[in-house]
Structure 1
Amino acid sequence: MNHAQTLLHILSSNRDRHQSGQQLADEMGVSRTAVWKAMETLRNQGHVIEGIPNRGYRLLTSTLLYSKERLQTLLPSWELHLFDSIDSTNRYAKTLKSRKALALACHQSEGRGRLSRSFYSPQGGLYLSLLFPAVFPLSDASLITSAAAVAVSEAIEEMCGKYCQIKWVNDLFYQNRKVCGILTEGVLGVESGRLTAVVVGIGLNLFTKREAFEDSLKTIATSLYDGEESLPSGFSVDALIASMVKKLEDSLATLSDRTFLSAYRDRSLVIGHEVRVHAGSEEYMARAIAIDDEAHLVVENEHGERKVLSSGEVSIHLEV
């Protein structure tokens, strides 16, 4: 057991009280400097450790889901920022100056979705935001969310063996319930006023128990696994995260080719179904006909008129 693991064990066993740096050093049989280095290692891994002058240190939460060291090995070119809890990973990622960065948390206090809505982000989820340089034509930026939906759904199928469908434009559904939401935001250069980077936020319900969801979500949301104890033996969250990142990175590198659209159409939850269209102040029933080459949704209303939706959203009644 290394110093960080020893320190984590001591802090986990004494959550109800603070311990001074000297007390920890004495118990571990190491120097205060070694304790400090071990403390920083744990914090970099996402553990939240409270430090109060004249009182000492206390472990508030313990994230054992992922490891910064393992993730860095799997994603060597990425700058990693790991947290137990944060207000919003998208908000944090947009402040970073690096070219490629990943902000990751197990809980968000102020998660955000499309149209400035709040995004429920309880413990048991994975909330990650990827900062990419804007190396693609601006005309292709609207395709990013759709490409991300394919990348995440394929990573889930590859690493978890679970098939997800895509509800246009940014939600993944598992067994007819929402399991993931995606939010793409642009970052403008202060001096140029031009798009310099994009942040792709992914909120995935990994193992939040059904009863833990807010009442308004219990009938429409779900998790890949019902509780942490349901995770398969040997399951690696780090491998799932790395798979999502790599697949999205590959998709963005070939965004203009639109090769992801075939999988996007195959996984569509709405094509061929009656949907309610919400577009600004307009709302009407229509049949979803197709996804075009710009990832827009083509619908046909009750009068046989076809419309191409580039924004707004649709809702669909599903049997669960």
Structure 2
Amino acid sequence: MAHNQPTPELLAEAFAKELSLREKRCPDLDSAAVLRYGQFVGSTIDCHERLPRAMDHARAHVHEVESQGGSVANGRVILADTMSRSKGRFTRAWHAPAGGVWGCMLHASTLLDSSKRFVPLAVGVACCEAIREFGGGGANLRWVNDVLFGQRKVAGFLVEGHTGACYGEEYHLVGFGININNNSFPEELSPIATSLAKELGREFDLTDFTTTFLAKLAWNFGLIYYEEAQEMAGETYSGVEGTHRLLESWLSLSSTIGKRVVFGFDVMTSPQYEATVIGVDDGGGLQLQFDDGAMKTEYSGEIRYI
């Protein structure tokens, strides 16, 4: 039996708490509408003691359901207490022992292309907000969605596209790995990884954290749909001076602006160049300035602080 088991009742309580919180923080926003847009998150929750890899399980689930003529539940969350073959970008191994939050969400994407680019931001913001709510005020975001304490990574996310073979339906597989109570890391990860328990000196209830994270994921995905509705109605985004509200949240949590960085599509094995981050554009693209004053905007890839 899995230990990390958010129930529908717990998730409903977390959604209600999230709505109350957002109504206080965002009095100028229709918070109930935002959360309704994101209500699909956690529509079903599939909990396991162990899995090889949650994204592979998600693909197999899509194939099984569609081949039987069914419809995949949007927002289905797959959780595992441990994973044996979890991976990050470029097949990098992700250490996933007992004590962390490991899993994947299936998002049946009907978003416009202009909105899809915000999906990676949403998951990072949701996690950083959850960690801060549990006392980790020192957590911050490194573009695109790594959650750090200082230079050490506490959470990472991988968003992959997947097209169902039967109907051609498009999905986002939103993979997440969040170090909560796991304090021991392989030698190669010890200098760059940390956990919430390690940073704050106490352990946390995994189900409580996961439920909070999913409620915040619902809010931030809801913002994507809410702002898309604004765009389709010919109106500006709802943030200050027409900024996308999710981008505003990302900027408030990020430590990236102003940093000297090395950039690469696979920055660990193939760094491409060094530059200074001067901002992000309206779609979340990273704006970089070279030493000679030339500038470039990157919409995919990764960075490391120098």
TM-score for both structures, normalised by structure 2:
0.74
Which whole-Å CA distance do the structure 1 matches of 2:199 and 2:49 have between them? Answer: 18
In structure 2, give the amino acid aligned to 1:85: R
In the alignment, the residues of structure 2 paired with residue 89 and residue 149 of structure 1 have an alpha-carbon distance, to the nearest angstrom, of 18
Task: Find the aligned partners of 2:174 and 2:131 in 1 and give their Cα distance.
Answer: 17
Deviation at 1:310, TM superposition (A): 0.8
- Which protein has greater RCO, CA pairs closer than 8 Å, 6+ apart? 2
Q: Percent sequence identity over matched residues?
A: 27
Give the CA deviation at 1:187.
2.5
> Take 1:143 and 1:260, find their aligned partners in 2: how far apart are those partners?
8
The count of corresponding residues between Structure 1 and Structure 2 is 247
* Residue number among 197, 202, 223 corresponding to 1:225 in the alignment: 197
CA contact 2:124–2:146 (8 Å) conserved in 1: yes
Which amino acid in the other structure matches residue 43 of structure 2?
W
Q: 2:241 corresponds to which residue?
A: none
Q: Secondary structure at the match of 2:117?
A: helix
* Structure 1 unaligned spans of 5+: 1-42, 47-62
Q: Are the counterparts in 1 of residues 180 and 206 from structure 2 also a CA contact under 8 Å?
A: no
Q: Deviations over 1:172-212 (max 9, x none)?
A: 102331000011122313244341x2221110011222xx2
Paired with 1:206 and 1:316, the residues of 2 have a C-alpha distance of: 23
1:223–1:141: structure 2 CA closer, same or farther, 3 Å change rule? same
Amino acid at match of 1:178: K
- In the TM superposition, what is the alpha-carbon distance from 1:227 to its structure 2 partner? 9.9
Q: CA shift at 1:303, angstroms?
A: 1.2
Whether 2:295 is the aligned partner of 1:306: answer yes
* 1:98 lines up with 2:73 in the alignment: yes
Within-5 A mapping of 1:72-91 = 72-75=8-11, 78-91=43-56
Structure 1 residue 282: Cα displacement:
6.5
Maintained 8 Å contact 1:156/1:163: no
C-alpha separation between the residues in 2 aligned to 1:162 and 1:273?
20
> Which residue type is aligned with residue 184 of structure 1?
V
- Which residue is equivalent to 2:264? 278
Amino acid at match of 1:283: Q
Gaps of at least 5 residues in structure 2 are 13-41, 62-71, 229-236, 238-243
Which residue of 181, 185, 190 corresponds with 1:207? Answer: 181
Pairing 1:153-172 to 2, within 5 Å after superposition: 153-172=128-147
Per the alignment, residue 32 of structure 2 pairs with none
* SS at 2:165 equivalent: coil
State the alpha-carbon separation in 2 of the partners of residues 229 and 259 from structure 1: 33
So what's the TM-score if we normalise by structure 1? Answer: 0.71
Q: Match for residue 173 of structure 1?
A: 148
Partner of 2:223: 254
Which structure has the greater CA radius of gyration?
1
Query: Which of 141, 144, 147 is the equivalent residue of 2:116?
Result: 141
Give 3-state SS (helix, strand or coil) of 1:285's partner: strand
Q: Which residue of 2 aligns with 1:237?
A: 206
| Among candidates 162, 172, 184, match of residue 198 of structure 1 | 172
The CA deviation string for residues 126-175 of structure 1, in whole angstroms up to 9 with x for no partner, is: 10211222132133222101111111111111134433111111211023
Q: Relative to structure 1, is the Cα distance of residues 277 and 100 closer, same or farther in structure 2, using a 3 angstrom cutoff?
A: closer
Question: Is the partner of 1:147 in helix, strand or coil?
Answer: helix
